[in-house]
Amino acid sequence: MSFLVVQNLTKEYPLGLLGKEKLKAVDDVSFEIERSKIVSLIGESGSGKTTIGKLVLRLLKPTSGRIVFDGKDVFSLRKEELRDYYRRVQGVFQDPFSSFNPIYKIDRVFDMVFEEFLPEVKASERKARIEQVLVSVGLNPSQILGKYPHQLSGGQLQRILIARILLLDVELLVADEIISMLDASTRVDVLNLLGDLKKRGMSVIFITHDLSLGYYISDEALIMYRGSIVEMGDTEKVFRNPVHPYTRMLLESVPEVGKKWDLRERFTPELIGGDSASCKYYDRCPIRERHCRTAHLQMVEVEENHKVLCLKAGA
């Protein structure tokens, strides 16, 4: 059963001095997340995936649409209900250093959790709980507590943020490019840690531009382009049977190990001038037809739990 439901979510930003023109960072996006599932939002920079993460975390207010968590509209929550929401939904972001105040020791991160969300926990119990969650994410408490952020690596700081989440017993984690700044060996450790969180019952929105990471970690994949979801479904089906030309282009662009990139093989579509297309991918699409320009697009199910936003789906 889905416990996070995103319905027709749109986020617009005004452009220019008068703000008469609008940029749709997120355009009529809908999807659902079940408990104990990892769902990847995959796309290029500017596709809207990070904006969706911020909307789920209530860091931004939508222009229209709804986000429903456990039966309640997220943007209607006030006071205690909102506090409970943030106890159950948290985010971890790309740059772990930006999440820490450099003048405070690491201990302060955990102290704030107890003060804000767990004031009922006695001071005598706090240290034992902190040490327990640090050990659970592969850290030695004696090497972490009492240190300043600059004394630790990016991988250690990301693990500390995840330990903080375990302390809260979070149910939904928004993980926005959380391993892009880490070295290769640490990346695998953090990905496997997310897998462990899933086994404990946590759901994860995994935001990434890296197709291989999305395939490795997620149960479902949402491919985004210019604010819209163009393909979605079981990760295995989306990657093994890509239908939308954008998804195909992304997968074909992944470099193969041992093969040099030939610049002559780059995707160079023929451009067709004219009015803006109903399909946002129209000007780049190698299989487009004239009627794609003005047709109304709707998600089409090409197989069970695999949908695509394309008039030529299955053709």
pLDDT in tens, 89-119: 999 888 888 889 899 999 999 999 998 898 9
182 pLDDT band (50/70/90 cuts)?
confident
pLDDT tens for each residue of 40-61: 999 988 899 999 999 999 999 9
Q: Where in the chain is the domain with CATH 3.40.50.300?
A: 2-99+168-240
256 pLDDT band (50/70/90 cuts)?
low
- Whole-number Å distance between alpha carbons of 176 and 209: 10
Q: What is the pTM of this model?
A: 0.86
One DSSP character per residue, 114-167 reads: HHHT-TTS-HHHHHHHHHHHHHHTT--HHHHTT--GGGS-HHHHHHHHHHHHHH
**Residue 78, Cβ neighbours under 10 Å: how many?**
7
Is the confidence at residue 262, as pLDDT, over 90?
no
Is the confidence at residue 233, as pLDDT, over 80?
yes
Q: What is the pLDDT of residue 158?
A: 87
Q: In angstroms, what CA-CA distances link 10 with 20, 61, 76, 140?
A: 17, 10, 17, 43
Please state the rounded mean pLDDT for residues 218-237: 95
Using the Cα atoms of residue 237, residue 268, residue 21 and residue 14 in order, give the sign of their dihedral.
positive
pLDDT tens for each residue of 188-210: 888 888 888 899 899 999 999 98
Report which secondary-structure segment, H or E, holds 110: helix 107-116
Higher pLDDT pick, 158 / 183: 158
Report which secondary-structure segment, H or E, holds 34: strand 21-34
- Homologous superfamily of the 2-99+168-240 domain (CATH): P-loop containing nucleotide triphosphate hydrolases (3.40.50.300)
Considering the chain, what is the average pLDDT of its residues?
A: 86
